[in-house]
Chain A
Amino acid sequence: MMLLEMAAGGFADRVAVGSRADGLTFADLFGRAAATADRLRSVEAGHLVLADVSSEALPALLFGSSWAGIPFVPLNYRLPDGELRMLAGRVSPALAVAQPGTTGRLDGLDGLGVVDRDVMWKELQTTRSVEPDWRFEGEDVAVLLFTSGTTGDPKAAVLRQRHLVSYILGSVDFGSAGEEEAALVSVPPYHVAGIAAILSNVFAGRRLLQLPTFEPGAWIDLVRAEGVTSAMVVPTMLARIVEHLEAEGPGSPGLPTLRALSYGGGRMPQPVIEKALDLLPDTRFVNAYGLTETSSTVALLGPDEHRAAVASDDPDVRRRLASVGRPLPGIEVSIRDGAGAEAPDREPGDIWLRGEQVSGEYRGQGSRLTAEGWFPTNDGGWLDDEGFLFVTGRIDDVIVKGGQNISPGEIEEVLLRHPAVADAAAIGLPDREWGERIVVAVVAYVSADVSADELCALVRHELRSNRTPDHVEFLEGLPYNDTGKLLRRVLREQLAHLGDA
C-alpha cells in the first residue's frame, strides 16, 4: 500500500491504468483502493478472492486488500466450477469478486460473499476523503497464489508484505518511468508475474494496459494504438507474436514504440527468441526467471547480454541466450546435489535460492526454507564460469535410464538448436531393461525436412551417448497450459504406448 500511496503522492494526475484518453489516474486508483478497503472492512472479509480476468478494477482490488490488511487471492477463473469452488472454500471467510455475469459459479459457499465485478466497480466510484489509514505490517499476508501443481491438491503459496516490498524496492527505482511510458500486461492475475507487473509499474509510475485474453493480433494492435513501451509475455505468446509479425511481410510497420520486452515462465525455444531479436531490432529483451514462491523474478538475462550472445562466435557465450542470466542483487543462488551439499562448478543440481523476497511458505504447511534460509526450488540447473544460470527443468522430470540421471532440458536445448525443430520435449517412459527410455517429442516446421536419425545423431554428437533418444516421435504440437508451461504429465499420457507396459 505504501507503494501506491507514494505513487499517488508523486504523480497523482498521471494515468495509472487504461488508455491515455480516459484511464484511471494514480489519485483515482488510490481513492478506489480506499473504497475497496472500506467495503472489505464493512463485511469483515478475511480474504479478497478474485475469480476474474484482468480489468481496470484489478489494481484497486489488489491494493485495497493490502489497505484492509487481508490477503488478495486471485484464482484461475478457467478452472472447472468444482475446482474453483473447492479453492474458494479453502479461504473463507472472504468476499469474492467474480467476472461479470458469473457470480453463480461461487454462490452458496459457506462464509463467502460474492459480488459481480461491474457492480463492485460502480460502488467503488463514490468519493470519500482519503485518509491513509492503513498500516504496513511486514508479516501480513499480501497475496495467496495457488500453484499449478501437477500432482495432488494445489498448494497456496504465501507472499507476505515484506517479501513483495523488498522485491519492489530492490528492483524498481521509484518514479523512474517517463510520462509517455506504458506497460502491457497479458499474463492473468493468478500468475505471480501478473501481480508483480502491477506493483512494479505502479511504483515506477508507468501506465498499465491490460489484455485480458491474449491473442497475438490484438496484442500487436494494442501496442501500436497505445504506444506501449514495455511488455511481459510467456514464451508461447512470444512465439505467436513472432509468427504474426512475420506474416505481415516486409511491409510490416514493426513495433517501433516497444523499447523493452521481457519473457519468462517457461522454456523459450531458441529459434523463437532469435527470430524475435531479428524482427524487433530496437527492442531490448529481458529473460526473467522466477517462481511464485520467490515473489517473481530472481534472475535475469539483460538486453545487452542477449545481443552479445547472438553476435558471439564463442559457443559458451552464444549459449547464454538459453540461460536466465544472473541473479538480482538481493538474491543468492547455490547449486546443490541430492544430499544438499554444494555441487562442483558447472555441475547441474537443484537450484537453491536465498534473499529477502524469497518466501518458500505454503499455507497450512509452513515454511520450506532450510535453517540457513535457503529455498530448494526443485528446479534443476547449473551456473557457468561468469555466473550465468541455466535452468534445465523440474527435478521431478529427470529421466533415470540405467541408473543415470538425465535432464530433459539438456536434450531439448540441443534439439531446439536444429533449424528444422520448432519445439521439442524429452520424457522418460518405462523400459524393462533400462528402467526408463528417452523419448523425445518433436514439432518440426511445416516446410522443414528432418529425420529421427539426424536428430539422434545430433544429440549423440553434442552430449554423451547415453543421452541419445531411444525414440523420436513427430507431433503437430506440444501440450501447454494457458500460462505457457509445458504439461509433461499430459505428454507422458499421450505417448504412453511408446513405453513398456
Chain B
Amino acid sequence: MPELTPGSRWASQVCTTEVIVVRAPDGDVDLECGASPVVAAGGSGPDGSPDAGAADGSLLGKRYVDGDDTLELLCTKPGDGSLGVGGTLLGLKEAKPLPASD
C-alpha cells in the first residue's frame, strides 16, 4: 500500500466506489473498501463483491474520516462497499448544515 497523498484518487476492487484523498497522515495507510485493498483509480474496474462485514456502501459527496481525524477522504463515486483502514470502518464526517451564503 503506497502513501496516500492529498489529491490522489483510489478505487475499490470490489465495487464502484472511488475516493479522493483530502488529508492523510504520513506513511503507509492500509485503505480498504469492502474489506479489500483499494487500487489507484483508472484501472480495470471492479471484480467480485464486498465482504459482508463491510458492505454498508459509500455515499457520493460524503467525507469519511478515521477515529483520530488524521485521514479524510471524499467519495467521488458511490458503491456498495464500506471504506476502512486495517479492518476498522471509517466514519462519516457530518457537516453542520449552513445556510447558503453565496
Contacts and interface: CB of A to CB of B under 8 A. Distances in A.
A135 B7 contact: yes
A262 B61 contact: no
A6 B101 contact: no
A175 B60 contact: yes
Interface of A: 2, 5-6, 9-10, 135-138, 162, 165, 169-176, 183, 193, 196-197, 200-201, 203-204, 206, 230, 232, 260, 262, 264, 284, 286, 288, 296-297, 300, 302-303, 328-329
A183 B97 contact: no
Contacts of B76: 2, 5-6, 9
A137 B96 contact: no
A170 B95 contact: yes
20 contacts: A2-B76, A6-B60, A10-B61, A136-B7, A136-B9, A137-B7, A169-B74, A173-B97, A174-B61, A175-B61, A197-B102, A200-B100, A206-B100, A232-B101, A232-B102, A260-B99, A262-B99, A262-B102, A296-B101, A300-B101
Interface residues of B, number: 20
A260 B99 CA distance: 8
B100 A183 contact: yes
Contacts of A260: 99-100
Contacts of A9: 60, 76-77
Contacts of B22: 165, 169
A170 to B, nearest CB: 7
Contacts of B20: 2, 136
A264 B61 contact: no
Nearest to A167: B102
B2 to A, nearest CB: 16
B98 interface: yes
Contacts of A136: 7, 9, 20
Which 7 pairs of residues, A with B, have the shortest CB-CB distance? A174-B61, A288-B101, A136-B7, A196-B102, A197-B102, A297-B101, A286-B99
Interface of B: 6-7, 9, 20, 22, 60-63, 74, 76-77, 95-102
A136 B76 CA distance: 12
B101 A264 contact: yes
Given A171-B98, A286-B100, A302-B99, 10 more contacts: A6-B61, A9-B76, A136-B7, A174-B60, A174-B62, A200-B102, A262-B100, A284-B99, A288-B101, A328-B98
Contact of A286 (B6, B61, B101): B101
Most A Cβ at <10 Å: residue of B22, B60, B97, B100: B100
A380 to B, nearest CB: 22
Contacts of B96: 329
Nearest to B63: A169
A300 B98 contact: yes
A204 B95 CA distance: 13
Contacts of A172: 98, 100
Contact of B100 (A10, A162, A230, A328): A230
Contacts of B61: 6, 10, 173-175, 203
Most A Cβ at <10 Å: residue of B77, B96, B97, B102: B102
A284 B101 CA distance: 11
A303 B99 contact: yes
